[in-house]
Structure formats: C-alpha cells, structure tokens
Structure 1
Amino acid sequence: MTAGQFEGLDDGPSENIPHDDDETAEDLARAAAHAARDLRKERLTLALRGGTAGPERRRAMTTMVEKALQLDWAAAVAPLNDRPKRRRQSGLDGLALAAVGSVARGQTGPASDLDLVLLHDGRRLPADEVGELAQRLWYPLWDGGLRLDHSVRTPNQCREVASADLSAAIGLLDLRVIAGDAALVVKTRTSLLSDWRGGIRRRLPQLLESLDERAQRYGEAAHLLEPDLKEARGGLRDVTVLRALAASWVTDRPHGSVDEVHELLLDVRDSLQAVTGKNNDRLLLPEQDAVAVLCGLTDADELLARVADCTRSIAYAVDVTARRARQSLPTRRLRPGPRRPRLRPLGHGLVEHDGEVVLGVGVEAAQDPVLPIRAAATAVRAGLPLSPVTVEHLAQDCPPLPDPWPTAARDEFVGMLAGGPSLAQVWESLDRAGVISRWIPEWTAVRNRPQRNAIHRHTVDRHLIETVIQIQGALRDTSRPDLLVLAALLHDIGKIAGAQDHSIAGAPIAGKVARRMGLSEEDSELIERLVREHLTLIELATRRDPDDPRTVEALVGAVGERQETLHLLRALTEADATAVGSVAWTAWRARLVDDLMARAATALSGEEPPGPAPIAQAEVELVRTVLADGRPRVAVTPMDELFTVTVVAPDRSGLLADIAGVLASFRLTVKSALVRTVGSDHLGEQVEGDHDIDIAVDTWWVESRGDMPPPELLEQHLRRLSEGDQSVLEPLIRRDAGFRSRAGAPARPRVVLLPGASEDATVLEVRAADRPGLMHAIGSALAGVGVDLRSAHVATHAGQAVDVLYVCEHGGGPLAPPRVAETVSVLVDAGSVPSAGRPV
C-alpha cells in the first residue's frame, strides 16, 4: 500500500446492514448475537473452501466482519433510539465504532482478533450511558467466541494514549470507521496523523529501539525454523512500521517487491490460522506441512524458503527506510544555508556518506571485478552498511571474478569474513542482490534452506554466517586464520537436497570452492578435511569413552598427522556449536572436548597413548569415604544453568538404573551423563592401600526446575534402593505413566551396534524419545540380562535421548553375537514408552 493509499483509506463506514423500522431492540440483539456466533466459523470456512488465500479473500473476510459489527452496532444503539426525541437527535452524532489492526487495513485473516474502539465526543452522552453502550457492543462478540481487544475513548484520550505509548500510536494511525459518526473518526485520525508527523523527531529513536528490542526477543524470521510471522524481524509488524514511517512524511517506503512479499506472507498467516483455527502467528514445525499444502506448496521446506525470502525483503526494506528517515531529520547547524554532504574517505575509492558506504566519484565499477569484495570488506571493517544504490551498482556493473580468483580478491574476502558481527548485515545485502551466488554458486543450494534438527535456530545459510562470526575469537590463536574462517563459512555447504551425510557431501564442494578462490592444493585439501570431520571431535568427546584407546585413535585418524589441524578442528567445533546455541555448547561439553583433544595431542606428539584420565581430587575424597564404609556418596555442584551430580559408589549390577531412578524421582532432568568404573589397579595410583574393589565414579549433569535436593537425601534414597526398598521410585513410575498419555505414540527406539569403536567392549547407541524413566529402564534392562556396563555417555537434545553404552561380559571382554542380539532386544523394549500399568 502506498503512502497515498495510507491517506485515503475508506473514511466512511461500510454500508450499514438494512433493517425494517418495525424491528425491535430484541430482534436486533438476536440478529447481532447470531452473526457474532457464526462469524468465526464462516471465516474459517471461507479460508478452507477456496484453497490458497489472497487479497480478495481477505477483503471478503473484512466485509464479513464489518457486516457482523454493524449488526452489533445497530443492536447496541437501538435502546438509544427508543429514548425521547431530544436524545435521538443528539445522542448518536458523537458516537462511532472504529477499528484498528487487520480489520482497519482490510487484511482480516480466518481467525484474526478484532481490535475495536468505541469513540465518543465526551459531551453528548453521560459516561454511564457510554459504558452501557460498550457492554452491549462487547458482550455479543465475547459470547460468540471472538477474541476482542477493545477500548472506549474520546479523541483527546486517543491522542493522550498515542503520545504515551509508541505501539498504540502506530496502531491508531490505521483508525477506520465501522459504523456511526464517520466525521468523528476522520477528525480523530487526522489529529493523530498530525501529532505523529509533528513528533517524529522524538519518536524515531523510540521506534528504532523498539525494532531492535523486538528482533532480540523474537529473532529474525528469515533464519528461524519456527518463525513468528508477526513479531519476528521481517514479519508483519515490520510492514506496519514501514507504513508508520511513510505516514511521518520524513521518508518514502519501498513499493513493488515489498508489497508483493507482504501479500505472500499474509497468505501464509491466513493458511496457518485456517489450519490451527486460532489467531496464531508462530509457524510451528508440526503444522508446517499442512500450511504448505494449503498455500499450494510442495512441502514444509518450500514453505520455509518462501517465508525466508519474504521476510528478508521486508527486513531489508525496514533497514533502508529507517536509515533514510534518520538521515532526513533536521539537525542543529551552526551555519545557515544548504546542507553539505559529509564524506569520510575509507580508501579504495569508497567513502562514508550519511552512515553508509558508497562509491566515490570517478570509481569505474565496470573495470574492477574485485570491487564488490573490496567494498564489502571495507563496510564490514567500518561497521557500516553498504548503500542500496552501491549494492545495485556492484551487482549490475562489476565484471565476474576470474577463475581462480586473484590474490587480492581472496585476501579481501578473508578480511571481510574476519571483520566481526557487522558481517551479517553486509552479507545479507549482497546475498539479496545475487552477488554472493556469483562469488560462490554453491551457496544457492543452501540459501534459505531449513534444518530438520530441532536444536538449530537458523537456516543453513544464516548458521554458516553465525559460525564465521563466532569463530572470530580463535583467529589470533592459529597460524592459519584464513583457512579457519573459510572452513567455518563452508562447513555445512553439503546440507543440500538428497545428501545422506552433509559432512561427506560437503567436503568436495568446499574443496572446489577453495580451489576456485586460488588456494593451493594442500590448503584446499585441509579445508576439505575440516569440513568432512567438523562433527568428529564433538561426537567422539560426547558419545565415546575417552579412556578407550580406540576413541583417541579415531580422532588422530580424522585430523591426520598435523597438530595444527587438530587445533583448527577444535576452534571450528566450538564456533559451530556456539552458533547453534547454548544447548549445543556448554561448559561440560567444552570439558569433554578439551580432555579428548589433549589426549590426541599427546598421541600426535609421538608419546605413549594416554591411559585413563585420573579422577579429580574432589572425587578422590569421595572414593576414600566410600572405601571406608562401602556406602554411596553424592556431591552436588552448580554449573552454569545446570547442576553437576557426582555419585561415587561400589560398582554393582543395576547401579546405573538406581542412580537414574533416584534423580528422576526428584524431577531432575538429565541433560548428559558420564558413567565409568574405576578399577582397583587404577585406584592404587591415587588412593593409598590395597583395595580389591571396583568403584563407580559417575557424573550427571541435570536440570532442576525447583529446589535441588541435598546430597544427603540422594544418598539416603540410593541406600534404600540397594537394600531393596523400591518405594522411592513410586514418583517416577507415576511420571512415566503420565508421559505415555501425553506423548501419544512416539517412534520405536533404535539401537545400533558401533563396530570397531572399542577393542574390549561392545558399543551400542540407543536413540529414543526422552522420558522420565528412560535411563532407569535402560539400566534395569542391562542388569536383567547380566551385562556389565563399563561406561555410558548420555545426551539429550530436543526431546531425543542419544545414549552410547560400553557393555561387557562379566569379567570383561565384548559380548558374543548371541548376547549382542539379546541385549539389543531388551534395550529396544526398555526404550519404548511403557504400556499403562506396566512398571518402569
């Protein structure tokens, strides 16, 4: 909608619903109540019956809402018409029912809320009669199941609210009459527009701050797997901000593509509301396939790609429009006369003008293929955006880069990647203009591509940029920062359609890109290796036994013979996980990674393969007390947002099940666990005396939603279990049974044998839907078939448990094939959600 159309929204009410003069107030009230009850169903029916949504259907829904509201108005004011003649003549002229929000803009969705204002002049009716009229208006709508945001105000009260509340000020700019005194509504909106324009110098900083706050809270819709179509950056709320900026007359708003993508985003919102039957703007994963079908798209991936494309365009338009508004506001000047542009040279023919990087006078873009990269690197280093006009020139006028790239282009490209957080803004502007795909054609395959891993926050392309930004802190500590930032940019380039393993698929793609950039064969192969193995370190550290020599051998084989590769892989691992979020990189994960890395570094230096890591001194003290009286000991330590629970006890069959059961009975959620048995030979190195006993030293990282139980209470429950008192597990049994009824029918657990992971143990990976009693059930199953658990490595992500178990026969050694089959079978049963009445 153009700025001119903003001024010209229908000022008069839609045609009132005709009714016979003989109709009584009771007749009108019944008709209004019936219309309100049917309105919700009729809107949903219209959305579902006609396939995909569109502007015409939104206008039809708006008309449908208006007619119902006009009936409601007629019923509400009917008692006033029954009053004496003097009241009939004066009582209704100063009253109107007006709308803001989607109804006012003609963009009503299948389940949109109604944002209504009962406007009165404050003179013609007493306050108590205005209140009675409001009740007669709102109650039929509430009784009809409609969600309503309502207010009763005079024009002056509207102006006061707008002056104090920025969100209200923007919303009231759309004020439009539904029924009643149209002149009153037009006069009120004119005053609101005048106030908005007169106060824009004060309001603009508030508006820009609100944009930043909302983006921080809801994220960027273009790069989220479950975006909020309204509130997230680039969403429908930002289009309303564009309208408000245009209404201020300090800037124009972009048209053309913005209008088109706005309508497409409204189509998605309408389909989401039709699917859910609710005024819901969050596009959740379970609903995306159905929404895609209703939008006429193939699948959820295509839907998210469309949402990403639309919201990127809107977000970019808001950035550009906000900058233009800020630049156009007058500033205090010491000298009279025309404003002269302030230009700050940035080098290479580039200058800063009004907070943007622009091409200097006389720069020949058509003769310099490196200019786009140089301009981008300059903008990132300066922390400034590229001017939209400059981006357009760079995209259209500069010749393509040769193959391979010249050294200057590669150096500037690496410098751009190493420039810090401002990379995201500059990269986005170039990506929208198609410049990135000209540099890296392979980028097109991951652009706007969603990730079907619930721990990820971003689409593939934005995750790659976030990883590059996160890796900045490691660049000073490596001899090859250029290779590190390039590996960060390309590590997920293999997440393309049809790829079974994106690391394997991405390695040759990354090598091809590196060679095109002019890297040597050796450096290109190193980038290939980093991309291929970028998950190896974190998976080995969290899912394998670090005390098993095969674990260190696997990491050494992945990095080759160079210590430098190991350090580069460590930096890439942390940046990749940090870009995912706090779930993927925590203090305990860093500890596990660093421990395994130290072991691999020792092996790469040619020294003897490291043995089992010594237990910590605090654990040694617990071991001593356990050896003294044979009773379990527990220590609890806060760690970031989690608690570390260390359990030391004489090792025995079923101990894992007991510990897991006790933790779950106190409603502690296990995020990860490292379960290991320390033999008497290893104890002799740290604990004095001759002890012919194996000690379990288990570390559990748990989350507590309430008060953390004291260690003494945990110890008491463990002792009771060891003595056969199963009553302590009753809370867990109840929780597990309740979980079954809420979760429905989750997928069947999967148990996979990991051949070659250990020489003296059988390694099994259990993947199952997480539930309160899962680890207790797994431990009980192993004890039931007489299998010893040497170590366990437990992790939970997005409701899925991934548990790696090192199991042995009594006395040591891997399981025989029949025993493997038996163990797998009981683990599958243990991982399944229990049937009603079956104990965990």
Structure 2
Amino acid sequence: MSAPEPELPDDGDAGAWRQAARRALEDGARRLAEAFDREEDVDRLLARRAKTVDRIVVSAWTRGFAGAPGLALVATGGYGRGELFPYSDVDLLVLAEAESQRDQREAIERWFALLWDIGLAPGHAVRSVAQCAEAARADVTVATSILEARPLVGDSAALTRLLVAMRAPDLWPAESFLEAKRAEWRGRHARFNDTAYNLEPNIKDGPGGLRDIHALGWLAKRLFGVRGLEDLVPLGVLGADEFRVLDTHRRALSRLRYGLHLVSGRREERLLFDYQKILASRLGLHDEHSENLAVEQMMQGFFRSAALVTRLGDRLLQRFDESLRETEAPVGIDADFVRIGQSLALRDAALLQRRPITILRLFRVWQRYPELATLHSATARALGESLECIDDAFRASEEVRALFLGLVRDRHAVPTLERMARLGVLGRYLPAFGRVTGRMQYDLFHAYTVDEHTLAVLRNIEGFSRPESIERFALGHELWQQLRKPELLVLAGLFHDIAKGRGGDHSELGEADARAFCEAHGLSSSDTDLVAWLVRQHLIMSTTAQRKDISDPDVVAAFAREVGERERLDYLYLLTVADIAGTSPKLWNTWKDRLMADLHAATRFALRRGLAQRAHIAERVAEVREAARSRLLDEGLDEAAIDALWADFPDDSFLRYRPEQIAWQAHGIVEAGRGGLPVVLVRPHARAGALEVFVYSPDRDGLFASAAATLDRLGLSIVDARIVTSLGGMTLDTFQVLETDAAFEGMAAPQRAAAVARTLRESLRVPGPGRPPARRALPRRLRHFRVPVQIEFSETGGRTQLTLVCNDRSGLLAQVAAILHAHRIRVHDARIATFGERVEDFFELSDAGNRPLGAAQCAALDAALRECVELA
C-alpha cells in the first residue's frame, strides 16, 4: 500500500502552498516511476498521475477563485480522459462568459502563472460557451478536445451548457466529422511516410500509434453517442475480440510511452535511438544473442502493436463509413463472393471458418478484380477472426498449397502478398515470416523492419515489369522480360531475409526455409535449387561489386564460377538491385546502378565465353518439352508427329528456346512438310518494330552467311541470333531483327512478317551466300561510345571458339558471316547478342574438314575481322 500524498495547506501562505505543491508533484512522480518499474498496470499509473494533478489544480483554483461566480474549470484532451503521462500536457479550459472574463482577467492570468511556477506547464484556453462552439465549428481539433471534457471545479451548469451547445445539429454532423477526422488521420500518417516502420517511430502520432486509438474513440462518441470504444461492442459495431486486441495494444503502447517519458525526462513521443536501449533495459528485456538484442525485442513488440492497431483502425474507419451510407446492392462475382461498391465481400462471412481454404480463395478473387480497393468491413472482420484456422493442417493441404502457388504466379502477386501481410494472413501461412514481422535491426543501415523491407523488395521486383521503371532500373526492366519464371524471383525476394533474428547465418537458414517451402509446394528440383541458391547468395553480388575490384579478371572469373550460369546471373542481379533499393530510399543511386550493371556485363561475358555450368539439364529439357507439347496438342497436332519431329531436336534447342518458341517452330515445320524446305517463319516480336525469324533447312556451308546477308539487304538489323543444328543436320536458327529503314513503312506487322519470310525463303533456295553485304560506317550516335575491339581464339571440344566484342552497327553480323564463309570456315554454333552499343558474339568454328582452325587461319581471320569491325 502506497504512503499517503502530502497535504496542501489551505491557509493564506502562498509560498508554503507552492512548496507543498511542488513536493506533491515530485513525490507523486517518484512514486509512479517506482510503480512503473514494479510493472504496475499502466492504466492505474495514468489515472494516479491525473488524480495527483486534479488535487493540485483544484486546490490552486480554490485558493484563487473561491466564491467567484460564473467560472468553471474543465479538463480537456487526454487529461479530460483521466490519462496523464509523466510529461504530458495538462489541458485546461476556463469556462467564463465575456463579462466574467473581463472581471477576472488578471486573476486568471495569475492563476495560470502559478501552475507554471510549480512545474505543471498547462495548455490552456479561456472561452465562453458561445466562443467554444464558434472555435469548435471552425476547427475540428477544438471540437475533438471538448469531446473529452471533464469538469473539475466551479460552475457545473456552465459545462452542461457547453455540452448542449456541442450537440447542435450544424456543429460537425456525423458525416462531416468522420471525413474531417479521416483527412486528419491521413495527413498525420503522411508525415511519417505512411508507415509505422520507421526505426525511430512516434508512439503517439505515428501510424498505429496511440493517436489512432484515440481518434477511433472520438469517432465512436460523435457517431454513436457512446462513452468509448467498449460501448460499441453491445451495439455490434465492434467485436468483443476486436476490442480486446485494441485495448491490449493500447496498454502496450501506453507502457512504452510512459517509459519513454521517464527515460527521456521530458515530453518525448519519438522512440529515438538515444533512448531505445535504455528503455528496453528499464522494461526488463535482455539480449538473447547478437541477432536478438533486447532493444530489437522491444521494437518488435512496438511494430507488432502498431501493425495491429493500423489493421483494426482501417477496418473500423471503413465500418464507420459504411454505417453512415446507404448500403449498395451486392453484385455477384461467384457463388461465394460479391462486390459492394468498391469492396469485395463474402456472401456468408462464416464460410471462412467452415471452409478455411476460402481465406486464400478470397485473395485469388481479389487478384481477378484489382479495382476493388478494400474488403467489406464484415468480411475483413471475419477474416481477422479466422486467422487461427491457418494451422499446420491448413498449411499441409495440397489444395491450399496449389492455391498459394497460384497467387504467387499471378501478375498481381506482389500487391496480393502485401495485402496478405497487412491483414495477418501471410505471417500465419508462413510462420517464419510471422517471426520477422516487426523485427528491426539496431543499426543505421536498415531503414525498415524486416517484413517492411521484404515488402519493399517485392514492390521493386514488381516494378521491374513496368516500362516506367526504365528510368530507375534500366537493365532491370530489360532482364525482367527475359525471365523464365518471374514467380521464382518473387519467392526469392520473400525468403531472402526471412531467417533474420534467429542467430546464425540468416542466408543459410533462409535457404533451408526456401528449399522446404519449394519442395512442399511441388516446385521442380531445378526451380527449387534456383530459389534456394538465390536466398543463400543474395548478398554475394552486392559485396563483390562494392568491396572488390571488378575490373580484375580474376575477381569476375571467381564470381562467374560461383554464379555458374546466365539464368542465375539475371535472377541474382534483379534480386540484388531490389534488395539494395528496398533497404533505404537513399541507398540506390546511379553509381550503384552502374556498378551492378558493370559486374553483370562482365560476368555475362565470362559465362558466355565458357565458364557457364549447366545444372538440371534433363529436368529443364523435360519441362520445356512438356510445356511445348501441351501447346501443340491444344493446337490440334498429332502426338506421334510431334515425337517424330522432336527426335531430331537436340537438347540445346530445348535449353535455348522457350516453350512457346519451340511450339511455334514445330507447328511451322509440320505444316510445311518435308517438301516445303526451307521453312522460314517470321512473326512480330513483343518489342516494337522487331521481328522474330526462324529458319529450318538442310545445313550447308554459307547458309548462315546467306540468311544474314538477306536480312541485311531487307533493312533489318540482327540484334540477337541463336544457331542450333539438329541431330539430322537441319538448321534450327532464330534471329531477332529490328527495322532500320523505311522498306516496310505503311505495312501492318503481319504483312511485314510475310514479306520477310517470302524473300528469305527464296534467297535460301539459291546455293551459295548470295550478294555480299554492304559495308557501313559506325552510326554517328555510337561514335561517342567506342567499345575496344576484342578478338580471341581458343580450342574446346575439337572446335575453335571465336570471341568477338566490338561496337554494334547495322549489317555487322552479315559482314562477319560473309568473312567466315570467304575463309572457308564452317559455323557449327553461334551465340549472338547486342547490349546497347556493345556486341558480344561467340562462334564455334572448324575448317572445311571439321578440324580446329590452325594458327595461320586464325591470324588471317583476325586481320579480316579487324579490318571490318574497326571501320569508322
């Protein structure tokens, strides 16, 4: 039992009263701090502080205004609620009509000065009832403050008149009050970047802070005429479980705020780094290990509270809004879902409990209707109440796993995962994600909590798909379009930091989590290995680029050997860029953009030159074959005909081409028949002004040179080529070409494709390479970007590999092909690619007798190629 508080003298000795009042405040503060450290209930501490201040304020009033008519003292704001933190404002309103204000002006000023003198620092106003109503009408914050009004001493009739005046129909009607408080809510959140996940958050005013809970209480009072949120439960507006969650986290936030005032020694609402460790210690938390410090445990508790308050706050705001509007007629979506205005709703909210898989079906439907901005409040409430249904049995369901994987594979995967995270579903479905929800790292490098950083990384990944991302992620947008399975990058982004805070290497632990997830969800071993490898190595590209000399060939070679193949390189580059840009808004800049792009280019070159490792070849071949077969069967082709054709296709064709390309090629070959050789297929490419060309013909010397020369004469620039020879000696060659002149101007894309196919087919029917291509100078726009010429020869597998790096220009490949043919050199394979102004070509060559090139041949070829490519 606490000792009684010191008495305040009621005689006329002002000095003695001041001393006693100061001592009462100091003793009260000390006792409350001791009670805080004993973990006394925070609501009791707040009420005791308010009661101490009540006693002193009323005593001071009695000394100054005993017997003065027409005056009333009212507590407003948090003090009016009976809640006072150690250094909170003591908000006071002196109610006095105009005449009393004039008569008592000097006395009121002396009285407030007295309160300042003893250390109370009150926030104060002196108004008549009419002035209060006028101020409230002009400023919703004044109206809100008066909602908390609590009489302290004086003319009680004045307070009654004030409350009556505040209920005037034209003074903030419910709809206007809701709209004003919602605008205030949004503005306040915007000041904190719309996230509670700042690492020095504001406990009171930030998103998910105490002010959000207070705002919900004010709305409850104004809209429903109740005393507080708890009174909404019997009305059915707020669920008992929802109130318990809000109240639990109000207490948690209040305890943090109370402790923050104590350790800072002032009215501080921000959890600054200066106070975080001290406060964590005062709360009795201890470091578990280097990745779970006491301060990180405390902050995780805050962020989780803020997230739940935000989630429930959004839900209640919507419910308040719906209560004031005419209910719109539901529009059916399917047997279980409807749309109500711009909200998605369940026909029967209890379905989530009866058939828990509906939880994921809800997000699948939402993906199909992305224009629906929210869940209807009844559905959102039911979803919150059904989260416990996401248990081990739910997660083990094959149907559930297939549905979750479908969500990830959808083009709206990232917004969906973000919604699932905000609504608590993702943390339940992936318990490892739930454990990093709200987890911070106590440093200045990571600007967000782990879960918020993960969502930022996913948003960056999604951003690569949009053309407007070119300005910030030029290479990222280009590489995204080439990904075999974008969902694998999404999964890597989701898991890359999921093991932080456990102790040990989070990359290794996260790799194990990612592998277990992929295997459980039926991903192929190659896809599983790729995701797991990305999670394990998600830091390697960043550390290599920023800590090592990437101009050193040995550094690049070592990195290339670790990466192993081009596909991994592209995925890793995109994950690295998304990760850096998602760590802090200040981290991604043009220097890092250039650094990562340079390492990607150098590694890509090393891999294309011969360092690439081929993993899971058989599995990838089988996967592409099955996907292409499915397309062809849908198009009506006979399975026996497909198998007969593909018996001649080498594995390389299934590795180099996508399933839809294989299907396109196969369909064209089967339709043309053996008598229709050569088969030339041409179709518009996804890239504007581009065409894809496929040539199927008996291979012969000069065929490659003839195709390249013909495309050049047609005014088409070859920007990519893939040369493959079938087991039976047929070409399976593709070219991606861009129009460089007006030869096809005015023709629709299908007409252009048909004209190119016709001309190329006729040209290839004529033996020999045809007319030599024209020699062209380097275009003016490329003269500022001179690429040093690199020509190298090496022997591998009984063939000679030629590496050619130089500036791109129209007709270059046609000229190179003509030179090779003129030197009686056979082209067995080629990997042709253009990267901006830079061409990287790799050829597998032999002499006419299928032997590696001799030294004299290499020297002659080197001279001829240099004369060609160095032409200014």
Structure 1 residue 95 corresponds to structure 2 residue 87: no
Are 2:261 and 2:267, in contact at CA under 8 Å, matched by a contact in 1?
A: yes
Structure 1 residue 326 corresponds to structure 2 residue 316: no
Are 1:507 and 1:531, in contact at CA under 8 Å, matched by a contact in 2?
A: yes
Q: Spell out the pairing of 1:353-502 with structure 2 (5 A cutoff).
A: 353=340, 355-360=342-347, 370-379=357-366, 381-386=370-375, 387-392=379-384, 394-395=386-387, 400-402=394-396, 408-415=402-409, 418-421=412-415, 423-429=417-423, 431=424, 435-475=425-465, 477=481, 478-499=483-504, 501-502=505-506
Cα pair distance change 1:404/1:196, threshold 3 Å: farther
Match of 2:267 in 1: 279
Query: Among 133, 138, 147, which residue is 1:159 paired with?
Result: 133
Query: Among 512, 529, 532, which residue is 1:528 paired with?
Result: 532
CA shift, 1:553, in A, is: 2.6
Whichever of the two has the greater Rg, that structure is 2
Match of 2:672 in 1: none
Paired with 1:422 and 1:588, the residues of 2 have a C-alpha distance of: 32
Query: Among 559, 580, 597, which residue is 2:563 paired with?
Result: 559
Q: CA RMSD in A?
A: 3.2
Cα pair distance change 1:219/1:348, threshold 3 Å: farther
Q: Could you list the per-position Cα deviations for residues 128-164 of structure 1 after superposition, in whole angstroms to 9, with x for gaps in the alignment?
A: x443133212212323344332222222222222222
CA shift, 1:405, in A, is: 5.8
Cα pair distance change 1:364/1:256, threshold 3 Å: closer
Match of 1:646 in 2: none
Structure 1 residue 42 corresponds to structure 2 residue 28: yes
Paired with 1:265 and 1:465, the residues of 2 have a C-alpha distance of: 24
Match of 1:636 in 2: none
Paired with 1:148 and 1:543, the residues of 2 have a C-alpha distance of: 56
Paired with 2:108 and 2:416, the residues of 1 have a C-alpha distance of: 51
Paired with 1:193 and 1:424, the residues of 2 have a C-alpha distance of: 42
Query: Among 566, 576, 580, which residue is 1:577 paired with?
Result: 580
Are 1:229 and 1:269, in contact at CA under 8 Å, matched by a contact in 2?
A: yes
Paired amino acid for 1:322:
L
Identity of aligned residues (%): 27
Q: Could you list the per-position Cα deviations for residues 357-413 of structure 1 after superposition, in whole angstroms to 9, with x for gaps in the alignment?
A: 222359965775643222123335344333224414653668614365667414432
Structure 1 residue 506 corresponds to structure 2 residue 510: yes
Paired with 1:364 and 1:541, the residues of 2 have a C-alpha distance of: 52
Structure 1: gaps of 5 or more residues: 1-14, 82-87, 332-338, 610-684, 688-840
Are 2:454 and 2:493, in contact at CA under 8 Å, matched by a contact in 1?
A: yes
Are 1:197 and 1:247, in contact at CA under 8 Å, matched by a contact in 2?
A: no
Match of 1:57 in 2: 45
CA shift, 1:234, in A, is: 0.9
Cα pair distance change 1:110/1:268, threshold 3 Å: same
Match of 2:310 in 1: 315
Cα pair distance change 1:228/1:413, threshold 3 Å: same
Match of 2:126, SS state, is strand
Are 1:405 and 1:517, in contact at CA under 8 Å, matched by a contact in 2?
A: no
Paired amino acid for 1:588:
W
Are 1:117 and 1:152, in contact at CA under 8 Å, matched by a contact in 2?
A: yes
Cα pair distance change 1:449/1:32, threshold 3 Å: same
Paired amino acid for 2:347:
G
Paired with 1:321 and 1:61, the residues of 2 have a C-alpha distance of: 31
CA shift, 1:296, in A, is: 3.7
Paired with 1:16 and 1:168, the residues of 2 have a C-alpha distance of: 35
Q: Spell out the pairing of 1:137-152 with structure 2 (5 A cutoff).
A: 137-152=111-126
CA shift, 1:467, in A, is: 1.7
Match of 1:218 in 2: 192
Paired amino acid for 1:223:
Y
Are 1:169 and 1:196, in contact at CA under 8 Å, matched by a contact in 2?
A: no
Are 1:467 and 1:579, in contact at CA under 8 Å, matched by a contact in 2?
A: yes
Structure 2: gaps of 5 or more residues: 225-231, 287-293, 466-479, 613-784, 788-872
CA shift, 1:266, in A, is: 0.9
Match of 1:289 in 2: 277
Match of 2:650 in 1: none
Paired amino acid for 1:461:
D
Match of 1:119, SS state, is strand
Cα pair distance change 1:345/1:482, threshold 3 Å: farther
Cα pair distance change 1:419/1:326, threshold 3 Å: farther
Are 2:344 and 2:372, in contact at CA under 8 Å, matched by a contact in 1?
A: no
Are 2:295 and 2:442, in contact at CA under 8 Å, matched by a contact in 1?
A: no
Paired with 1:362 and 1:203, the residues of 2 have a C-alpha distance of: 30
Match of 1:242 in 2: 216
Query: Among 88, 98, 107, which residue is 1:112 paired with?
Result: 88
Q: Could you list the per-position Cα deviations for residues 455-482 of structure 1 after superposition, in whole angstroms to 9, with x for gaps in the alignment?
A: 3232212221222122112245233211
Are 2:507 and 2:537, in contact at CA under 8 Å, matched by a contact in 1?
A: yes
Single out whichever of 179-188 and 363-372 deviates more from structure 2. 363-372
Match of 1:282, SS state, is coil
TM-score, length basis structure 2: 0.60
Match of 2:254 in 1: 266
Paired with 2:104 and 2:415, the residues of 1 have a C-alpha distance of: 54
Q: Spell out the pairing of 1:644-723 with structure 2 (5 A cutoff).
A: none
Paired with 1:567 and 1:166, the residues of 2 have a C-alpha distance of: 54
Cα pair distance change 1:18/1:395, threshold 3 Å: closer
Are 2:457 and 2:493, in contact at CA under 8 Å, matched by a contact in 1?
A: yes
Q: Spell out the pairing of 1:3-18 with structure 2 (5 A cutoff).
A: none
Q: Could you list the per-position Cα deviations for residues 739-764 of structure 1 after superposition, in whole angstroms to 9, with x for gaps in the alignment?
A: xxxxxxxxxxxxxxxxxxxxxxxxxx
Match of 2:598 in 1: 595
CA shift, 1:194, in A, is: 4.8
CA shift, 1:38, in A, is: 5.3
Structure 1 residue 300 corresponds to structure 2 residue 290: no
Are 1:492 and 1:503, in contact at CA under 8 Å, matched by a contact in 2?
A: yes
